[in-house]
Amino acid sequence: MNELNLMNKGYLKKDFAKKEMKGGGADATFNTEAYLINPELIQNKSAPKKSDIQDVSGKPRKTVSIEDGILNMGYRLPTEAEWEYAAYGLIAQNPAPRKKEGKPGEELFLNQQIYSWSKNPNGLRDNRRSAWQGEFLANFKRGAGDFMGVAGGLNDRSPIPGNVKSFYPNAFGLYNMCGNVSEWVMDVYRPLTPVDGEDFNYFRGNRFQKYYKNGSGDYERDSLGHLKMVDVSDDETKNRRNYQHNNGINYLDGDSASGVFYEYGVTTLISDHSRVFKGGSWNDLPYWLSPGARRFLEEDQSSSSIGFRCAQTYIGAPEGPGFKTGNIFSKRRQNTKKTGY
């Protein structure tokens, strides 16, 4: 997407993509990080004749930065905390009287929302005016092995993963946060992560790296065009306050300091390569459709019931431009009384 943005704005030549398709190697491969860190690694740059983005001498710049608003921020897997927040979509829990005033959602956990849709604790049917009584709201396995139901019956009609928009989205407008296929998240799996993790957007899987520079002090790219990375040494981090080890995946949870070890294939199937997947799939019972349910699989393994969705890194206010922190009070005229002095 960023490659196309730059070509449309005139900062990359139109034949750049053709060279990439012909197998031009790393030099013909666009990568956003490489472009931002060292634009000289990207070939075929150009400068538009007219542009609002100028250098100190008033001439159009040949390269752009993330602050110029042309480049999109990077895509990645969501963390487990981000995925679960998005799946519940608790914005729909807004009490009716406050909706008219445009107030934010109250996140009423007392409503006992179990699945990604609200106002329906059993999660299998929608009772609004009895319009869809009995209709399934997600693609999952009913009972011990009923994948689709019977012909003409009220069921999900999807024996395998169905079209993305086959079922209604949740309150955030996200489809299939329950059912269809389970989804990978970034976190390394540990049984008690939700209990002993940080309380603010926790994430297990930190591995601190830096961009590699060769002996001449130049950045290098791999065969796919990505900048090469190397681990930050413990020597470089020993005086930091926020982390002292370059690999925090199993810190105090499977290393010599804790005295606890996950012996993969001997005493457990959990390892430092076990990643969490969530959401339930076409091949799962309703229990696994709850956003709070979590399972794991080795990151280099795959399954016909596991997919993924991307999250975009976003820098700014949580709810977009113009968002104000704190409570949003309605505007009312204050009663005043004139007094004389």
Distance CA(299)–CA(269), nearest Å, equals 12
pLDDT tens-place string over residues 150-171? 776 667 888 889 999 988 888 8
Q: What is the mean pLDDT of each run of 10 residues along the chain (341 residues)?
A: 86 67 58 84 73 77 83 90 90 53 53 73 51 71 81 77 88 91 96 78 88 90 87 87 81 75 87 95 92 95 95 73 63 59 51
Phi and psi of 209, rounded to 5°? -130, 170
Q: How far apart are CA 46 and CA 14, in angstroms?
A: 10
CA 55 – CA 193 distance, rounded (Å): 48
Q: Which among 280, 74, 80, 260 is positioned nearest to 188, based on CA atoms? A: 80
Single-letter residue type at 189:
Y
Locate the domains of the chain by residue range.
2-76, 79-198+250-324
Amino acid at 312: Q
pLDDT of residue 98: 46
Phi, psi of 324 (to 5 degrees): -115, 135
- Between the two ends of the chain, the Cα-to-Cα distance in Å is 67
- Whether 25 and 223 have beta carbons less than 8 Å apart is answered as yes
Residue type, 30: F
Token pair recorded at residue 263? 């012996």
